[in-house]
Amino acid sequence: MTDLVLSESLAAARTRLADALNAAGRPADGARLLAVSKTKPAAMIREAWHLGQREFGENYVQEALDKQAELADLDPIVWHFIGPLQSNKTRDVAGHFAWVHSVDREKIARRLNDQRPAALGPLDICLQVNISDEASKSGVSLEALPALAEAVQALPQLRLRGLMAIPAPAEGLEDQRVPFARLREALEALRERLPGAPLDTLSMGMTADLEAAVLEGATLVRLGTAIFGERSVRE
Ligand SMILES: *Cc1c(COP(=O)(O)O)cnc(C)c1O
């Protein structure tokens, strides 16, 4: 996609999400688009912002901080941290993001809570679940999820909003739906367990599997390639 025209790809992504919601029989505002801008320049984020996009997802802390500094004049803008999070980066994330989707252990949650500047209000949290049971290193297991959710729910500077997953790649709508259904069921179970928590978020669906995720109730789809084009090497 060397000749990507961002206005066209963003419009196509919006149409794709709207069509998926419609096909699922869900309301048009049932899911939001998170524009995943990792490895892409600040200028592309600025352009997307001027096209009305407000929520952006980043994976690498230093890269994100550099872009945020360059884009400090854009208001409102909502930054989501969606990448693997190491202990030594929690302070930067707690101070510079509105959301973190990749919390998968209590130690990280506690550090984010302790390091969240009070003036910013609570940090919105999704717990990342290892839903495909692959050899994937990130994500809490379904078995350990309830205890982690209860621990996070008890931390005052964190607001537990829901669950996130990156399933193993699968071909075809029906196969893609299976892990997303599992994540939806896990969220439903958590709602019963933690009646006070504002558990309104299922962060699931990427460029390859948005439709399957929306069919299973995604409320926040994370689109990178579909909006910004292919990423070069790096990953
Ligand atoms: C890169 C990334 C995305 C976007 O993936 P695409 O396939 O480019 O849409 C979504 N979520 C996470 C966690 C990512 O790391």
Q: What is the DSSP string of the chain?
A: -TT--HHHHHHHHHHHHHHHHHHTT--TTS-EEEEE-TTS-HHHHHHHHHTT--EEEE--HHHHHHHHHHTTT--S-EEEE-S---GGGHHHHHHH-SEEEEE-SHHHHHHHHHHS-GGG-PEEEEEEB--S-SS--SSB-TTTHHHHHHHHHT-TTEEEEEEE--PPP-SSHHHHHHHHHHHHHHHHHHHHH-TTS---EEE---TTTHHHHHHTT-SEEEESHHHH-PPPS--
8 Å CB contact between 35 and 53: yes
Q: Is the pLDDT of residue 85 over 90?
A: yes
pLDDT tens per residue across span 92-130: 999 999 999 999 999 999 999 999 999 999 999 999 999
Give the pLDDT band (50/70/90) at residue 1. Answer: very low
Spacing, Cα 224 to ligand 1 middle (Å): 5
Q: Is the pLDDT of residue 134 over 70?
A: no
Summarize the confidence of residues 142-151 as an average pLDDT: 98
Q: Lowest-confidence range among 22-26, 132-136, 163-167, 211-215?
A: 132-136
Indicate which residue's Cα is closest to atom 12 of ligand 1: 82
82 token code pair:
């969606």
Q: Which ligand 1 atom is nearest residue 222's CA?
A: 10
| Residue 62 burial (CB count, 10 A) | 9
What average pLDDT does the structure give for the chain?
96
Say how far apart CA 188 and CA 180 lie, in whole Å: 12
Indicate which residue's Cα is closest to atom 5 of ligand 1: 224
pLDDT value, residue 4: 79
Domains in the chain (CATH in brackets) are 3-224 (3.20.20.10)
Q: Is the pLDDT of residue 77 over 70?
A: yes
Query: What is the pTM assigned to this prediction?
Result: 0.96
pLDDT value, residue 52: 98
Give the pLDDT band (50/70/90) at residue 62. Answer: very high
Q: Which ligand 1 atom is nearest residue 82's CA?
A: 13
Say how far apart CA 101 and CA 21 lie, in whole Å: 22
pLDDT tens per residue across span 24-43: 999 999 999 999 999 999 99
Q: Which ligand 1 atom is nearest residue 59's CA?
A: 15
CA nearest neighbour of 128 among 67, 64, 201: 201
